[in-house]
Amino acid sequence: MPRGPIPTWFFVLVLVKKGDRYLLVHERKHGQKWHLPAGRVESGETLVEAALLETLEVSGVPIEVNGVSRM
Protein backbone atom coordinates (compact mmCIF):
# COMPACT_ATOMS: atom_id res chain seq x y z
CA MET A 1 0.00 0.00 0.00
CA PRO A 2 1.51 3.39 -0.98
CA ARG A 3 2.08 5.93 1.74
CA GLY A 4 0.79 9.48 1.63
CA PRO A 5 3.15 12.44 1.39
CA ILE A 6 5.24 13.31 4.41
CA PRO A 7 4.27 16.73 5.83
CA THR A 8 7.03 19.31 5.37
CA TRP A 9 7.44 22.54 7.33
CA PHE A 10 9.84 25.42 6.95
CA PHE A 11 11.16 27.52 9.81
CA VAL A 12 13.00 30.82 10.10
CA LEU A 13 15.72 31.63 12.60
CA VAL A 14 16.46 35.35 12.61
CA LEU A 15 19.79 36.92 13.55
CA VAL A 16 19.20 40.60 14.34
CA LYS A 17 22.32 42.72 14.78
CA LYS A 18 22.65 46.44 15.48
CA GLY A 19 26.23 47.59 15.91
CA ASP A 20 27.84 45.12 18.28
CA ARG A 21 24.50 44.08 19.85
CA TYR A 22 22.24 41.11 19.03
CA LEU A 23 18.53 40.65 19.67
CA LEU A 24 17.55 37.73 21.90
CA VAL A 25 14.09 36.92 23.21
CA HIS A 26 13.00 35.22 26.43
CA GLU A 27 9.68 33.37 26.39
CA ARG A 28 8.80 32.88 30.03
CA LYS A 29 5.65 30.82 29.46
CA HIS A 30 7.61 27.57 29.13
CA GLY A 31 10.61 28.48 31.29
CA GLN A 32 12.77 28.73 28.20
CA LYS A 33 16.17 30.37 28.09
CA TRP A 34 17.16 33.25 25.81
CA HIS A 35 17.10 32.50 22.08
CA LEU A 36 17.05 34.08 18.64
CA PRO A 37 13.66 35.01 17.17
CA ALA A 38 12.28 32.04 15.25
CA GLY A 39 9.07 30.46 14.02
CA ARG A 40 7.31 28.36 11.43
CA VAL A 41 6.69 29.72 7.94
CA GLU A 42 2.96 29.66 7.26
CA SER A 43 1.48 28.46 3.98
CA GLY A 44 1.75 31.18 1.32
CA GLU A 45 4.32 33.16 3.32
CA THR A 46 7.85 33.86 2.03
CA LEU A 47 10.93 33.36 4.20
CA VAL A 48 11.39 37.13 4.43
CA GLU A 49 7.76 37.72 5.40
CA ALA A 50 8.02 35.02 8.07
CA ALA A 51 11.25 36.54 9.44
CA LEU A 52 9.68 39.99 9.66
CA LEU A 53 6.46 38.75 11.27
CA GLU A 54 8.02 36.29 13.72
CA THR A 55 10.56 38.82 14.97
CA LEU A 56 7.88 41.48 15.44
CA GLU A 57 5.56 38.96 17.10
CA VAL A 58 8.03 37.66 19.69
CA SER A 59 9.99 40.85 20.37
CA GLY A 60 7.91 43.83 19.28
CA VAL A 61 10.91 45.04 17.27
CA PRO A 62 10.42 45.85 13.55
CA ILE A 63 13.41 44.74 11.46
CA GLU A 64 14.81 45.06 7.96
CA VAL A 65 16.00 41.88 6.24
CA ASN A 66 19.39 42.27 4.56
CA GLY A 67 19.92 38.69 3.42
CA VAL A 68 18.75 35.10 3.56
CA SER A 69 20.86 32.01 4.16
CA ARG A 70 19.29 28.68 3.26
CA MET A 71 20.62 25.61 5.01
The structure's pTM equals 0.82
Question: Is residue 64 predicted with pLDDT exceeding 90?
Answer: yes
Identify any residues that bridge with 38 across adjacent strands, giving them in sequence order: 13
Q: CB–CB of 65/57 below 8 Å?
A: no
Neighbours of 23 (CB within 10 A): 16
Q: What is the pLDDT of residue 23?
A: 96
Question: Is residue 15 predicted with pLDDT exceeding 80?
Answer: yes
Q: What is the pLDDT of residue 20?
A: 97
Query: What's the mean pLDDT when you consider all of the chain?
Result: 91
Non-local CB neighbours of 50 within 8 Å, separated by 6+ positions:
10, 12, 39, 40, 41, 42
Q: CB–CB of 62/56 below 8 Å?
A: yes
